[in-house]
Structure 1
């Protein structure tokens, strides 16, 4: 190996590159010789794909601030943060589990909050209509 290429391959810390880490990240499979007369070796590298795990932090924060029915939004935010932490640590399965829980809590919080808002609107509108009718029956009608 050329001394110039050795300096090129070394890292900034002066240590050689870690070949063990590369072997763990990528699966290398060597295929046997082909049936032809030429001796050719083939190497297949299986590249792991990036798994995107949505952590629902923004949705959880919105539910925690605006639609916090029985603290479901706050609990969903806690699970979303746990999911993001697991994703940063590289634990994809744990991140997916926490993200799934956060999603269910966000959906529950959203549904219950919307139902609560609809019920309050119905109660206020029926009460105000009944109040206006009661007042209009007590006042004498002027005959214009």
Structure 2
């Protein structure tokens, strides 16, 4: 009879020594994975993740100007640029989004100024006309 078989299958259960199949398994794992190496000095890699850059798209202001102060359709055009700015932010094109937001802001300023002037003129002109009578 083979002494290796006898030792493997009939070894005492509580002998405190690992079974031969466990040692063979560990030797196989070491052979497959390789012996532990002395690692080289570790280098760190820095990854810079841009924080959420705030690009105002002026969409609420554009919507207000579209609904209430829309001389020469400036409010509507500003709203279109605001939507383009928001789309640019969504796809990650911050430079394009800033350009569209700047154009929307300029158009909103002009729409607001012209809207206020037209409102004042629409109030003053009838008052002056009725005072003349």
Same fold (TM over 0.5): yes
Match of 1:95 in 2: 97
Match of 2:83 in 1: 81
Q: Which consecutive segments of 4 or more residues in structure 1 shift more than 6 A?
A: none
State the shift of 1:58 in Å. Answer: 0.8
- Pairing 1:1-144 to 2, within 5 Å after superposition: 44-131=46-133
TM-score with structure 1 setting the length: 0.60
State the shift of 1:67 in Å. Answer: 0.2
TM-score with structure 2 setting the length: 0.64
Q: Is there any run of 5+ residues in structure 1 with no aligned partner, and where? A: 1-38, 132-144
State the shift of 1:113 in Å. Answer: 0.6
3-state SS of 1:54 partner: coil
State the shift of 1:49 in Å. Answer: 2.0
- Output the CA distance in 1 between the equivalents of 2:91 and 2:44: 34
Task: Compute the RMSD of aligned alpha carbons.
Answer: 1.6
Q: Determine which structure has the larger strand proportion and give its number.
A: 1
Q: Is there any run of 5+ residues in structure 2 with no aligned partner, and where? A: 1-40
Match of 1:137 in 2: none
Provide the aligned length of Structure 1 versus Structure 2.
Answer: 93
Match of 2:3 in 1: none
3-state SS of 1:48 partner: coil
- Output the CA distance in 2 between the equivalents of 1:100 and 1:65: 20
State the shift of 1:46 in Å. Answer: 3.3
